[in-house]
């Protein structure tokens, strides 16, 4: 659990989520993905960012350095 609450893990999830969201938009604009595929990839990005925020909050509540 401590590994998930570590600062590198929290930041990595946020960056991965942001990259997925950007890729969804870029690939959709380039015609590589249809609307449904882009929506799913965008959702995956937002889920990763949401998990990152949740872990950040949990780390703060536990007093662990985030």
Is residue 2 over pLDDT 90? no
Count of other CB atoms within 10 angstroms of residue 59: 19
Q: Could you report the per-residue pLDDT of 12-64, keeping only the tens digit for each?
A: 999 999 999 999 999 999 999 999 999 999 999 999 999 999 999 999 998 85
Task: State the Cα–Cα distance between residues 60 and 2, nearest whole angstrom.
Answer: 12
Q: What does the domain layout of the chain look like in residue ranges? A: 7-62
Reference 41, options 54, 52, 56, 25; nearest CA is 25
Q: What is the CA radius of gyration of the chain?
A: 14
Task: State the Cα–Cα distance between residues 1 and 66, nearest whole angstrom.
Answer: 13
């Amino acid at each position: 659990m401590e590994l998930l609450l570590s600062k590198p893990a929290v930041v990595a999830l946020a960056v991965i989520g942001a990259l997925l969201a950007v890729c969804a938009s870029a690939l959709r604009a380039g015609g590589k993905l249809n609307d449904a595929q882009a929506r799913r990839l965008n959702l995956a990005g937002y889920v990763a960012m949401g998990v990152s925020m949740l872990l950040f909050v949990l780390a703060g509540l536990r007093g662990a350095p985030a």
